[in-house]
Amino acid sequence: MDIVVALKQEEAELQKQLKGIQGAIAALDGARHTPHGARRVSHKGVHKRTMSAAARANISKATKARWAKFRAENAKKGK
């Protein structure tokens, strides 16, 4: 029984090594094909998130208010 368990553990280790070697070959080969079961991430067709005009206006308004406050505080310190 111990021999069977040891052989199964060795088989699992060899499977890990094989996947690593296949990945290295694919990377070096520049192949777009990935090993079975691996995911390939594609960025084609991915749309960037856009912000509404109202959201941009709110952010702009808040930023301008922060800078106005900062400049006012610095003007007081400078005098």
Domain ranges (residues) in the chain: 2-34+53-78
* Lookup: tokens for 72: 């006012």
78 or 5, greater pLDDT: 5
Q: In this model, does residue 8 exceed pLDDT 70?
A: yes
Mean pLDDT, all residues of the chain: 84
With beta carbons less than 8 A apart as the criterion, state whether 48 and 61 touch.
no
27 or 52, greater pLDDT: 52
Residues 6+ apart with CB under 8 A from 26: 33, 34, 35
* Lookup: tokens for 31: 């192949």
In the chain, alpha helices (H): 2-29, 53-78
**How does pLDDT run across 40-52, given as a tens digit for each residue?**
666 666 777 889 9
